Amino acid sequence: MIRLLTTLLAGLFVVLLGGLFWFDRQFEEPEAELVPSVVGTLEAKSVLAVFAHPDDEQLVTGLLLRAKSRDGATTRMITATKGEAGNQTPVVARQEDLGVVRHAEALKSGFALGLDEQEVWDYPDSGVADADYEELVRRLMDRMATWQPDLVVTFWPESGFSNHPDHMRVGRATRDAVYRLRATSPEIAPTIIAYVLAPRQMMSRFGGARGQLVVANQPAPTHAMPGEAGAKIRGWEIHASQRNYVRDVYGMPAWFLHRVNDKEFYYVEVLSN
């Protein structure tokens, strides 16, 4: 009986281990070039991240942290909205105060990531697509002209990582701002855009209809790099109003998801002079 029980437990362990290995493979992009740092590999000395909501920077924690700590680059970030329309998970404040709370969370997160400068703008959460597009592009061009980043990181405009309209609009406006600045003032314009992408197999298998749209509308990644799982887990503690987001959306705790989904994927566009 003991031998039978031991055999059954060993078999169960093998099955669980195989399942975990299979699950881990859903978060891989084997054809992407694995590098220790996208910023360092591209020899960028100044980075600007442009995203839509507080906590979007969780997608690029590895890029920003390693740009600062490993490569000595200057890092800055613009967050287009204060996230006032988000769902609290858990509830930590009155809903009418959520924009103030998430604004503060964004600043705390940026500090933890070592950002040299950051701005949180006041476009309406879940309403960026309805805002004045030309104004948004002009504001981004102005900040790029002032800060003169070598590399800009943002969403792929056609998929927005999760098909969120705010993400897609911010990605498009950021790309247009880079292109227009290069057309008018190439000597101070960014030379590289890094678009953060979702793992395609994961989105195809577990993302439902939205995941299928994301995969159909994003390119294959050119680069992969470590995602700094520990810092991402810390980030969800900083974003206290969104602490349970991973559990609620993906059905698993953040500590497990980020240990499995341990890389970030990028499509890198190097712009010719």
Q: Looking at residue 14, what is its pLDDT?
A: 66
| CA separation for the pair 177, 180 (Å, rounded) | 5
Cross-strand partners of 263: 226
The amino acid present at 58, given as its one-letter code, is: Q
Closest CA to 110 of 52, 49, 189, 19: 49
Q: Give the per-residue pLDDT at 53.
A: 98
Domain residue ranges of the chain, discontinuous segments joined by +: 31-270
Q: What is the DSSP letter of 59?
A: G
Q: What pLDDT is stored for residue 17 in this prediction?
A: 67
- Those residues of the chain that have pLDDT short of 70 are 4, 8-10, 12-17, 273
d(CA 96, CA 85): 9
pLDDT value at residue 42: 98
Per-residue pLDDT, 250: 85
Cα separation, 212 vs 235, in Å, equals 27
Question: In sequence order, what are the beta bridge partners of 194?
Answer: 153, 268
CA–chain centroid gap for 124, Å, is: 20
pLDDT of residue 47: 98
31-270 carries CATH number 2.40.30.170: no
**pLDDT at residue 120, as a whole number:** 98
**DSSP state string for 195-233:** EEE--HHHHHHHSHHHHHHHHHTSPPPSEEEE--HHHHH
Q: What is the DSSP string of 182-200?
A: HHH-TTTS-SEEEEEE--H
CB 231 within 8 A of CB 64: no
pLDDT for the residue numbered 24 = 85
pLDDT digits (tens, 9 = 90+) for 70-110: 999 999 999 999 999 999 999 999 999 999 999 999 999 99
pTM (predicted TM-score)? 0.94
Token digits of residue 143: 């900040």
Q: Backbone phi, then psi, for 171, in 5-degree steps? A: -60, -45
Q: Residue 273's pLDDT is what?
A: 62
Strand partners, 154: 195
CA nearest to 263, candidates 239, 227, 232: 227
Predicted pLDDT of residue 18 = 74
